[in-house]
Amino acid sequence: MRTIWRGNRRALGAAGVTILMATSMFAASSIYDFTLNSIDGKPAPLADYKGKVLLLVNVASRCGYTPQYTALESIYEKYKDHGFVILGFPANNFGAQEPGTNDEIKTFCSSKYSVKFPLYSKISVKGDDQAPLYRYLTKEANSAVAGEIKWNFTKFLVDRSGRVVRRFEPAVKPDSAEMTTAIEQVLSQ
């Protein structure tokens, strides 16, 4: 069962909330069970990335960690030919640090940081309107990585089978030895 998330509950309306609640009753078996909208507003199934190693990151444009976009893009370029993809999920959950529209976010990321990895539409990563993907990541995917998202730029490493294998908190830099070693290990499997 795929869950389509198109924004927060206020934007969905009563019918959308009912659909969202109904789809969230089905247990996901991997991240491939989710479809979210791309930054351009088109459905973008995570199943399109089957067989790839993924790094899922909740991002924000006005955060102290925002300069991590540079390192994220760097590791994306370094490993993309080996089957590695970064997926960015803009979220405005922490200090209103992602207030822009999807168009503004896309423009900011491409002009300021030359981001080429895929970005998704803005979502919520915690709270009552938490996107089903992030509910899965923080509660169901793997007890070793479970727990509420504490801030922007929390990173989840996903293996080629769609299993969440590692979690890195915001202070861990994407190009740190800790992260690149983990990425290389998962890529070699």
Of 188, 152, 158, 182, nearest in space to 86 by CA: 158
Distance from C-alpha of 19 to C-alpha of 162, rounded to nearest angstrom? 25
Decide if 109 is catalytic. no
Domains in the chain with CATH codes: 3-187 (3.40.30.10)
Q: Report pTM.
A: 0.84
Where in 21-142 does DSSP place strands (E)? 34-37, 43-45, 53-59, 84-90
Kindly tell me if the per-residue pLDDT of 23 is higher than 80.
no
What is the structure's pLDDT at 120? 97
Q: Of these residues, 4, 12, 47, 63, which one is catalytic?
A: 63
pLDDT digits (tens, 9 = 90+) for 73-126: 999 999 999 999 999 999 999 999 999 999 999 999 999 999 999 999 999 999
Q: Please, are residues 133 and 158 in contact by the beta-carbon 8 Å criterion?
A: no
The pLDDT, as a whole number, for residue 109 is 96
